[in-house]
Amino acid sequence: MVSGIKFSDWLHNSVTESSDKKYRHRLFKEHPGKHRDILSELTLYVQNAHEDARYRLRKLAENSLDPLDPKPTFDPAAGYPEIFHIQTLKGYFGEIFAGLIAEHFSPFGEDGWKVPAFLFRFHGVEFQQLELLRHTGGTADLRPGRTGDDCLAFKLDKEGEITRFIYCEAKCTPSHDTTMIADAHKKVGESVFPVDLPQILEILQLRTDTVSRAWVRAVYHLWLESTEHKSEHCNMVSYICGVSPVRGGRLAWLPTDKPHEQYKAQRRLEAVEIHLPDVEQLIREVYGKPNVEDLVSVGSATEDEIHGSTNE
């Protein structure tokens, strides 16, 4: 811990569970006055999630087979990922926050969930853009998002085997977006099995620590399950928004007593919404990205031109 404050000291949550125990709704809100206290801890968590991608870039720069070749005079990971479009960083933040919820807030009422690896190194179009901007300068454009699984969390038994896993679809918007919510529930409900287990294995196999080696074995066995699916497949929707309901006496945007109408699966679902006022500013802080007003003069661009549509 950097700041000494726990994430549970920053966020409080209320839980509503359906009568059949297959659906849980959780609403997270900030404890008053705790925003600044958690910033260093949250920044560390977010930056660590991207460390694998930075390592990959820097390792490539060391891979010359000629011992007489000079070392690179630049950091190939410079600008990653804070140089990217703010909309891209919102997506990254949403995926990382889903992992934070899994590891620190006991989804489905169970402790011990772990996210062994994030998948940011596979966002190819952004690494192409990073290389382009290194040569040309300028500001980043909005590129297509990474395909595949947003975030995967796992539980191990005493023998080190995966007993259940969470497939999570993550969304993040500074406002509120009903289309985004519907899309998330539709996608997570249609998930059959994680498609990025080989990519997680690729990351873990490059690590040399004992914990990662144990995860290689566990994820490999899950991957080999193929269509047998012995491990329980659970689903989670994580929805971060910058505004709370203000009309009709409602407290939450997501259904609290039953799954969203777009969720068609029979698997257990945890629907999580996190109300974070000024979430875009928080994202800029944890990524070290300048504010818009520091980059453009007032009136030089519309909000949509600067931030992109919240439906993206």
Range of the domain at 272: 7-63+75-307
In a domain, 68, yes or no: no
CA–CA separation, 169 and 211 (whole Å): 26
Q: Examine residue 104 and state whether it is found in any structural domain, yes or no.
A: yes
Domain count, the chain: 1
Please report whether residue 261 resides in a domain: yes
How many CB atoms sit inside 10 A of residue 229's CB? 11
Confirm if 205 and 219 have CB atoms less than 8 A apart: no
pLDDT at 248 over 80: no
More confident of the two residues 196 and 70: 196
d(CA 84, CA 103): 27
Residue 222 lies in a domain: yes
Task: State the pLDDT at residue 306.
Answer: 31
Assess if residue 248 is contained within a domain. Answer: yes
DSSP state of 50: T
Q: pLDDT band for position 304 (50/70/90)? A: very low
In a domain, 2, yes or no: no
Average pLDDT, the chain: 88
For residue 116, pLDDT over 60 is answered with yes
Task: Answer yes or no: is pLDDT of 307 > 80.
Answer: no
Burial of 167 (0-12, 13-18, 19+ CB in 10 A): buried
* 0.85 exceeded by pTM: yes
1 inside domain: no
Tens of pLDDT, residues 208-232 = 999 999 999 999 999 987 666 689 9
Q: Which residue do the tokens 């410079």 mark?
A: 78
